[in-house]
Amino acid sequence: MPGFVVVSPPFRSHAQPMSVFATALSKAGAQDVTFACGAEFADLAPDVPFADMRTTRDSNSGIAERTAQDARSARDVTDFLEATKGGAAAALLAQTRRRRADPLAAPDQVLRSLRALHDGVRPDWYVVDQIDYATTLALHALGLPFVSYVTGHPTYLVTRDDQFFGLPQAWPSAVHPAPEELAELATEVRRTDRALTAAFTKFLRDFAPARPVPPRAFALTSSRAAVVNYPELPWLPPLPAQQEQIFLGHCTAPEPLDDAWLDRVRGRQVVLVALGTFLSARHDVLRTVVRGALRIPDVTVVVAAGGRVAELADLATDPRVVLESVVPQRALLPHVAAMVHHGGNNSFTECLQAGVPAVVLPFSSDQFCIAHDAERTGAGLCLDPNTTAPEDVTTALRSLLEEPEPFAALRDSVRAAGPDRGAARLLTVLERG
C-alpha cells in the first residue's frame, strides 16, 4: 500500500475535513500517512503522524478576527467583511482583486519546506488542497505525484476556457448581481487568472525550468485523481477529463455531544445559527436571523457568534437563546431541527449527512453555487443576507420545520459515501493506475 502526506493550508475549515481524510486513508490500509499543516492544528488527526508545515501567510484557527496574523492579513479580513455588506458582486470583486495583488505568497519558501518534508518522509503520494496554489505549484515543480482535494464546490476544478475561479457558475434564486456587475466581475477574474498564470510561469522559469508551464494556473490539478468533499450531483458542470473524481458526499467523523450540551438541547426544537469562521463577524445578519427565529414559538436558537458575543449579548437575555463564541457544530447537528448557515462546504455537507434542512445566506466565494445546489436538491432555502428581514427568516424556517427531511434520498446517499469509502476507492484508483 502507498504512503501519503496530506497537506492542508492553515485554515480550520480546510484542515478539519482534510485531517479526517488523512485518518481515513490510514484506516483503509495506506502506509505511513502524515498530516501536514500549521502547528495549531496538530490535534486534528491524533492517530497519524503530524508535520508542521505552513503553506500560506494567512491563517484562521477558528475565529478569523481572533487569529494571530500580520497586519496585512488582519486588514484583509476587515476589508473583506466590509465588502460583503455591498452584496455578492462587491465581495467577489474584493476577493479576486486581493488574489491578483498577491497571487503567490512566498512560493520559494513553500518549495523549500516541501522538499525538506519529502526528504524526511518520502511518501508515494501527496494529497493537496486544490486551492492551495503555492503547494500545488511546488509539487508540480518538484515532479512529485499528487492527488487534489477539493474543500469547496466542485467548480473549483476549473476545466473549460469559459470557467474562471471566482466567477460563480450558478446562482441561487435570491441572489443574482446585475448584468453590469457581472460584466465587471468577469473582467476582473480574467485579469486575476492571467496574473496567477504569469506568477506560475515566472516561478517555474526561476526554480524548475525543465518543468512544463501550465496554460492556466487555476486549472493546475492532479492528472490522476481528485477527492471532492461534495455529493455527486447530476447538474454539475464538466470536470477535468484527465482525472478521476472521487466524491465523498461528506468528510466528517462521528462526534458525541457532551452532557452539558445535551442538557441545553434535549427535548427542544433547536435552530442552529452559524455563519462560519469569518462571517460570524456579520453580527448584524446574526441579529436578524435570531430575531426571525424567535418569532416561532417553542424554538430554541443556538448561535455561534464568533468574536461578536458582546455585540449580541442582549439577545441572550431571552431564555430560548444559547449564545456562544464557538459551538460543537458536527456533534450538535443530530439534535437540530434546522440550521441557518452561510453556504460553506462543510456546513452544507454536514447538514446533508445529518438530514438537517437549512436556510442558506451566501456572502462570497463558492457559497452562491452551494446555495444553488441546496435549493435544487430540496435541502434548503436561500435568502440574501444583506436584504433579509426577520419576517423572511421566520417564513423560511417555518417552511423547513413543517416539512422535515424533504431530501431523505440524498441524505442516505451522502451517508453511504463518506471519507472511509472515499479513501478505500482512492487506494484502488491509484493501485489500478
Q: What is the pLDDT of residues 382-410, one digit of tens each?
A: 999 999 999 999 999 999 999 867 789 99
* H-run or E-run covering 25: helix 12-27
Q: Mean pLDDT per 10-residue run, the chain (433 residues)?
A: 94 95 97 94 94 80 52 74 95 95 85 94 97 95 97 95 94 95 97 96 96 95 97 95 96 94 94 92 96 96 94 96 95 97 97 96 97 97 97 97 84 96 97 82
Paired with 324 in beta bridges are 304
Instruction: Say if strands 380-382 and 3-7 run parallel, antiparallel, or are unpaired.
Output: unpaired
How far apart (Å, rounded) are the C-alpha atoms in residues 243 and 221? 9
DSSP H helices, 239-302, are 259-265, 276-279, 283-293
For the question of whether the overall pTM of this predicted structure is more than 0.85, the answer is yes
pLDDT value for 277: 82
Cell numbers at residue 414, please?
Answer: 451522502
DSSP reduced 3-state for 220 = coil
How far apart (Å, rounded) are the C-alpha atoms in residues 154 and 84? 23
Closest CA to 26 of 129, 123, 151: 123
Domains 3-249+417-432 and 259-415 share a fold: yes
pLDDT value for 384: 98
Q: CA Rg, the chain, in Å?
A: 21
How far apart (Å, rounded) are the C-alpha atoms in residues 426 and 277? 30
| Domain-wise residue ranges, the chain | 3-249+417-432, 259-415
Q: Which residues contact 324 (CB under 8 A, 6 or more apart)?
A: 302, 303, 304, 305, 309
Backbone angle region of 143, left / alpha / beta, with phi > 0 → left and psi within -120 to 50 → alpha: left
Looking at domain 3-249+417-432, its CATH class is alpha beta
DSSP reduced 3-state for 245 = strand
Sheet holding 3-7, edge to edge: 50-52, 31-37, 3-7, 125-129, 146-150, 225-228, 244-247
Instruction: Say if strands 125-129 and 31-37 run parallel, antiparallel, or are unpaired.
Output: unpaired
Kindly report the CATH number that applies to the domain delimited by 259-415: 3.40.50.2000
